[in-house]
Amino acid sequence: MRDPNAPDATYEDLKKVPDNLIAQIVEGTLITMPRPATGHARVATQLSGELHGPFDRGRGGPGGWTFLIEPEIHFPRNILVPDIAGWRLERMPRPPPPETAFLTLAPDWVCEVLSPRTASIDRIQKRRVHAREKVAFMWHIEPLDRVLTAYALEGADYRELGAWGGDEDTVVRVAPFDAIELDLTTLWAPRPAEP
């Protein structure tokens, strides 16, 4: 538990973290974690690929979005690195220049791929920050359980829109990307072989 009298971590503290770790500052506390396993990375890559054509490029969908994988986003007392973030073009008309180190504009949608060591941070602390910063939609993906849970901001917190996955819901429409059908089977890492 964080000492309430301790000073907040700073961007300088974050920059000292070795490159083999992911570092974030959540409510003033520096949090480091190893890079995600390949299953986690594959889910984020696959989802980004599913959304990129129809929403970023406008191929087979309405367009109107810009997506970034693991962007560094600076908010007061927080530096977050969501797995994927998306901005509507009316709020971010052009992708940031390549030399941009971090963003300060809150995304319209974030997706976190949950892992056992970071799930509580994503579900509780980062959720509070996203709500406070008015991120309109948030998705949590649990690759081991094969579940996607979507939330929409309502007032000061999120309302669950639904949960899909397992072996039942494989093709779904989920806000804010419900203009297309999303085949969840493309996201899941292969199940481990049974002994």
Could you list the pLDDT tens digit for every one of the 195 residues in the chain? 556 778 899 999 999 999 889 999 999 999 998 888 888 888 999 999 999 999 999 998 999 999 999 999 999 999 999 999 999 999 999 889 999 999 999 999 999 999 888 899 999 999 999 999 999 999 999 988 899 999 999 999 999 999 998 777 789 999 999 999 999 998 885 655 565
In a domain, 2, yes or no: no
The domain in which residue 169 lies consists of 37-186
Q: Say which CATH number the domain at 64 has.
A: 3.90.1570.10
pLDDT at 81: 96
Phi and psi torsions of 65, nearest 5°: -135, 155
> Is 1 a member of any domain?
no
Which sign does the torsion angle of CA 150, 154, 158, 159 carry?
negative
pTM assigned to the model: 0.91
Q: Is residue 32 part of a domain?
A: no
Best CA proximity match to 55, nearest among 46, 47, 45, 65: 65
> How high is the pLDDT of residue 30?
95
- How many domains, in total, are found in the chain? 1
Assess if residue 96 is contained within a domain: yes
The pLDDT value recorded for residue 127 is 97
Three state DSSP letters for the chain = CCCCCCCCCCHHHHHCCCCCEEEEEECCEEEEEECCCHHHHHHHHHHHHHHHHHHHHCCCCCCCEEEEECCCEEECCEEECCCEEEEECCCCCCCCCCCCCCECCCCCEEEEECCCCCHHHHHHHHHHHHHHCCCCEEEEEECCCCEEEEEEEECCEEEEEEEEECCCCCEECCCCCCCCCEEHHHCCCCCCCCC
Whole-angstrom distance, CA of residue 152 vs CA of residue 61:
21
Residue 136 within a domain = yes
